[in-house]
Each structure stands twice: as structure tokens, then as C-alpha cells.
Amino acid sequence: MNKAYLGIDIGSISTKGVVIDEDNNILASSYLYTEGSPIVATKKVIKELKRQMKNKNYQVVGVGTTGSARKLIGVLLGANTIKNEITAHAVGTTSIYPDAKTIFEIGGQDSKIIFLNNGVVSDYAMNTLCAAGTGAFLSSQAKRLGITIEKFGEIALTSKNPTKIAARCTVFAESDLVHKAQMGCAKEDIVAGLCYAVVNNYLNNVGKGKVIRTPIIFQGGVSKNIGVKKAFEDVTGHSVIVDSNSHLMGALGVAILSKKKEEVNFSFNIEDVVYETKGVECHGCSNNCEIIKVIRDKELIDAWGNRCPKGELIHK
């Protein structure tokens, strides 16, 4: 039986999963919304990957997790690799584009920029404090304008005169959008203006003071928006590459990283396993740490959150 490796990227908005072979080829993939429950979302992703792998002669021997809920899901799946998003995205990207120098990544609620030198991360910056310029921001504005987010980019490309939108803050952007609509600006011009606003907000905040070098790889859910891609190219003056699997790069990267660790014997049959988390406050000292306990089928499998040994008693 051939060896395969599983990578799961659990974000605040979406959860992604891939299964790859020894040569990093993607054998199966899944992408769906987290909807506030990373455990349920992961179960759904695993179920879909299981369906795609049904008639393939492979055994998963490596499991990696990344994203905001990487530790929780890593414990639940018995992962042999748990890595941050910067490392995972860099590894995933360079496995396809070894000469990449800059990675633009815009997700549902955060964004990041990564700089590479000979395939190694040399610098990075993240924005996790404000949703302006993220996928969630664009989705809310699309809804306000009465269009689907899937059509957002296509509509933007029809604009001949993009409207200037202040997108330094979500509240200001929404106010400005309403004002421009009331002035009589065409909808396609407002949509295109939002794309440029996202790009300018990203480059002036996340990429502030950074030197953008080519090749540039654009990834994350927002990379599928062709209006934002064009705006990046217009503003930077450089061609921007969007891979067909740009939304899966984090999952791909952590799956590749799992190949370097000790092998595990993973089973896709986790649908009926009952997972739950419980928060308990430790009063052993003045820290009053919140201990998070992870329970599988009524058995405690891990816990974290304590800042001193007294918290370990709470684990038990």
C-alpha cells in the first residue's frame, strides 16, 4: 500500500484539507466554512477526503495541522506535525513555485505577507486586529450591494472608472460606500473601488515599509477574486500568480511537513467519535488560568492554558 499524508488548515472562516502522495501530488482536497465550530468542520472535511480516497490504495502515515485551531485539531487527529501558518504557507508555496520571493495571503479574517529568500522565510508581517480588507469584509460589502461574492471580481473588471473607497476601517468603508452609492456612482465602479481599497489597505498596513520582490504568489480565499488580483497587479506594477490550489497552500504545506516526522497510523473513521472541549478556571494562584480540556469519548486526551505546575492538577 502506498503512503499518503494529510494536511488540515483550520481558519476562523474556512477549513481546508488535502491528502498528498510521496511526490506532493494532491490526491484529494476539501474546502468548507468553519461556521464557528472547528471540530464539526474538520469532521466534514475528513468525511469528504475519505470519500475521494475510497478507491485509492493509500494509507495515511502523516498528519499535519495549521491555522488558528491547529493545536485543538492536532490533538484530536493525533497529528505528528503542528505548525504555524507562516511556515505552512511558505512550504506549500515553494513546493510548487521554488523561486517565489513574495507571498500575498488574504484570508477570511486576517492577512499576512511572507518574504522568501532561496525558499526560506526571511521576513513576514500579519494583520489580525482589523477585518478591513479581508474576505469577511468583501463578503459583507457584496451582500450590502446585493451581489454574490462569486460574481464580485467579474463585476469589478467591467468598471472603467473605479470609485475611491476609504477602507482603512470597516466602519468607514461602509459609510463611504453608502455615500458613493447615494452620489450616483455605478455599482461596478463601487465594486472595483472596493478591490483597490483592499489592495491599498493591505500594502499600506501589512506590507508597510516592505520591498515587494517578484515572483509574487497570491493565495488565500480572496485570491480567487479576479478583481482583487487585477488591483494588485495595477498597484504594484508586477504580475501576480494565483495557483489553481491557492486556497489550499497552508494545508499542502503542513502535509509536506508531516512527512519529516515519525509515521502515524491514521484512520478516516472519526465521524462517530465524540469530541468536546471544556473550560475550567484554575484558582491555584493569582494567575487564575483558564484551562482548556479536550475530551474524546469521555476520556481526557489533553489540556492546556496553565502557566504554572499548579494548573496540571486541574488537567487531572
Read off the pLDDT of residues 51-91 as tens digits, 9 standing for 90 and up: 999 989 999 999 999 998 898 899 889 999 999 999 999 99
The CATH H-level (homologous superfamily) assignment of domain 2-93+251-258 is ATPase, nucleotide binding domain (3.30.420.40)
Beta partners for 276? 295
The identity of residue 106, as a single letter, is I
Domains 2-93+251-258 and 99-242 fall in the same CATH topology: yes
**Average per-residue pLDDT for the chain:** 88
Q: How confident is the model at residue 304 (pLDDT cuts 50, 70, 90)?
A: confident
Report yes or no: 286 and 310 within 8 Å, Cβ to Cβ: no
143 has pLDDT over 90: no
The predicted model scores a pTM of 0.86
Cα–Cα distance list, 185 to 47, 143, 159 (Å): 46, 17, 11
Read off the pLDDT of residues 245-273 as tens digits, 9 standing for 90 and up: 999 999 999 999 999 999 999 989 887 77
Percent of the chain with pLDDT over 90: 50
Q: How confident is the model at residue 169 (pLDDT cuts 50, 70, 90)?
A: low
The identity of residue 73, as a single letter, is I
Report yes or no: 288 and 310 within 8 Å, Cβ to Cβ: no
pLDDT of res. 208: 85
Read off the pLDDT of residues 83-138 as tens digits, 9 standing for 90 and up: 999 999 999 999 999 999 999 998 877 889 999 999 899 999 987 556 556 777 88
230 has pLDDT over 90: yes
Cα 154 to Cα 246: distance, rounded to the nearest angstrom: 19
Strand order, beta sheet including 275-281:
275-281, 290-296, 299-304
Q: Checking DSSP bridges between strand 120-127 and strand 111-117, what pairing results, if any?
A: antiparallel
- The H or E element spanning position 74 is helix 70-77
Cα 223 to Cα 180: distance, rounded to the nearest angstrom: 26
Report yes or no: 227 and 165 within 8 Å, Cβ to Cβ: no
State the fold for domain 99-242: Nucleotidyltransferase; domain 5 (3.30.420)
29 has pLDDT over 90: yes
Domain boundaries along the sequence of the chain: 2-93+251-258, 99-242, 275-315
